Amino acid sequence: MKTPLSSSSSPSSSLLRKARLSPYYLFTLFAFIVFVTILYSEDFSCLFSQLNYTSNLPITKTSRGAGKKKVKLPFSVGRGNERCDVFSGKWVWDEENRPLYEESECPYIQPQLTCQEHGRPDKDYRLWRWQPHGCSLPSFNATLMLETLRGKRMMFVGDSLNRGQYVSMVCLLHRLIPEGSKSMKTNGSLTIFTAKEYNATIEFYWAPFLLESNSDDAVVHRISDRIVRRGSINKHGRHWKGADIIVFNTYLWWMTGIKFKILQGSFDDEDKDIVELSTEDAYRMGMKSMLRWVKKNMDPKKTRVFFTSMSPSHQKSIDWGDDSNGNCYNQTTMIEDPTYWGSDSRKSIMQVIGEVFSKSKVPITFLNITQLSSYRKDAHTSIYKKQWGPLTPEQLANPVSYADCVHWCLPGVQDTWNELLFAKLFYP
Ligand SMILES: *[C@@H]1O[C@H](CO)[C@@H](O)[C@H](O)[C@H]1NC(C)=O
Ligand SMILES: *[C@@H]1O[C@H](CO)[C@@H](O)[C@H](O)[C@H]1NC(C)=O
Ligand SMILES: *[C@@H]1O[C@H](CO)[C@@H](O)[C@H](O)[C@H]1NC(C)=O
Ligand SMILES: *[C@@H]1O[C@H](CO)[C@@H](O)[C@H](O)[C@H]1NC(C)=O
Ligand SMILES: *[C@@H]1O[C@H](CO)[C@@H](O)[C@H](O)[C@H]1NC(C)=O
Ligand SMILES: *[C@@H]1O[C@H](CO)[C@@H](O)[C@H](O)[C@H]1NC(C)=O
């Protein structure tokens, strides 16, 4: 990680030279260093904060610009242990406390994720809990979450993986809301779960690239020649304004395996001005657009913004050292190798995320779920889901050929993403 002080060496050294001239400059230099240190330690604690959970009073935080004024991070009720990286840990068997809800008691799970209903024979994938190495996660308190959302709007923005996390969140909360005072409605790209008595909404907005693209139709979006329009985030972003908590993701749709097409003008232009970028550069452009949107539209004193890292797929068993040409199909155990990472493109995209966030002062909390999910080759929906269309006899004869190794069964891994979100929201 680039340190702020090394990148600002020239202003410091010019201050140093002047410092010989006057004690005033010495003071200015000192104040400058203190200011920068506070500024950046705050950024890093925002982005990569590592924690323990105590029921202490809310964390105090130095607000940017004001320099000395202390403010509480919105929604926090305690503080985490800064030395504990909650994303580094292991899965432990916890039959007593898992799953956090039953598939059959949450009517909001879309049929693409209801694995038991679609005949999945094993159930163990629902019974693992994430245990960070350095601390324990606070238990997910649905009452606290719902009370916090009273009169508020929480929004998940991104692709179908983020929709899974969204549905998991709704499933974690809906039991507290009586029948008849909750509903879920979809209109185009926007799905809204309403808790009437709480005057709260939890929403999902489909925007697989965050920016405008030719794959934005919420129903018909399977376009092989994907194009994203530069600088177009407001096309979708105008629908996110006013949200109190936003959770973004974007990844899978950028992974075309070829140069990525970026449109400079408008989709209506007859002569389209298109440039081709590497996947990493295209993704970096998307991330930067998101940061600019957040900076412009989200008030850090009242709102929180999260970004969920890449959801790993398990498409090739060779990745975990099994050369049987398989994939996640028929996998009932997780990957034991703690250093397992999977395909390389994830690594380069993670680097882009790390770079973009470390250079940015926009307070976004990073949910680094990639590594912990990459162990879970057992937790995908595989063939146990509603299929988009009828399967051919050839497919049926070879389940590996149509297993979905991208999405996750619910309840399952994505409940853990929300437990981590819960931890970072209330105990930052
Ligand atoms: C964090 O929590 C773990 C276990 O819950 C404990 O052993 C450790 O001492 C705690 N660390 C701090 C700094 O509080
Ligand atoms: C959950 O949160 C509510 C509201 O803050 C609180 O009253 C309750 O004690 C919490 N429950 C647990 C088990 O911590
Ligand atoms: C309901 O919440 C919205 C914000 O989402 C707020 O503008 C409105 O005033 C609230 N209404 C009531 C009756 O509390
Ligand atoms: C759906 O959204 C469109 C545009 O955002 C709006 O015009 C329309 O009234 C909405 N339909 C319903 C049923 O809410
Ligand atoms: C599933 O995996 C088990 C070993 O874990 C193997 O015995 C069995 O034949 C596999 N079933 C199918 C249908 O591939
Ligand atoms: C996310 O976690 C992984 C595994 O712990 C780590 O390699 C990676 O650097 C982290 N990414 C960022 C941007 O912090």
**More reliable by pLDDT, 363 or 39:** 363
Q: How far apart are CA 384 and CA 400, in angstroms?
A: 12
Atom of ligand 1 at shortest distance to CA of 52? 1
**More reliable by pLDDT, 291 or 6:** 291
| Model pLDDT, residue 407 | 98
Question: Which of 16-25, 107-116, 296-305 shows the lowest mean pLDDT across its residues?
Answer: 16-25
Atom of ligand 1 at shortest distance to CA of 83? 13
| Model pLDDT, residue 24 | 54
| Model pLDDT, residue 187 | 96
Question: In angstroms, what is the span from residue 75 Cα to ligand 3's centroid?
Answer: 17
User: SS3 for 399?
Assistant: helix
Which percentage of the chain shows pLDDT scores above 90?
79
Catalytic residue among 45, 160, 232, 311: 160
CATH entry, 91-426, from 3.40.50.300, 3.40.50.10490, 1.10.1200.10, 3.40.50.1110: 3.40.50.1110
Question: In angstroms, what is the span from residue 428 Cα to ligand 3's centroid?
Answer: 26
Residue nearest to atom 1 of ligand 1 (CA): 135
Catalytic residue among 174, 236, 314, 407: 407
pLDDT in tens, 80-103: 888 999 999 999 999 999 999 999
Our answer on whether the CB atom of 50 is closer than 6 Å to any ligand 1 atom is no
pTM of the predicted structure, to 2 decimals: 0.84
- Residues 316-336 have a mean pLDDT of 96
Residue 299 pLDDT more than 50? yes
Catalytic residue status for 133 = no
pLDDT band at 366 (very low <50, low <70, confident <90, very high): very high
Residue nearest to atom 12 of ligand 2 (CA): 141
Catalytic residue status for 160 = yes
- ∠ CA(112), CA(115), CA(117), 5° rounding? 100
pLDDT in tens, 117-154: 999 999 999 999 999 999 999 999 999 999 999 999 99
| Model pLDDT, residue 22 | 54
**Three-state secondary structure string covering 118-136:** CCCCCCHHHCEEEEECCCC
pLDDT in tens, 11-40: 333 434 444 445 555 455 455 544 444 444
Catalytic residue status for 407 = yes
Q: How far apart are CA 40 and CA 37, in angstroms?
A: 5
Domain boundaries defined on the chain: 4-38, 91-426
Residue nearest to atom 5 of ligand 3 (CA): 152
Question: In angstroms, what is the span from residue 404 Cα to ligand 1's centroid?
Answer: 39
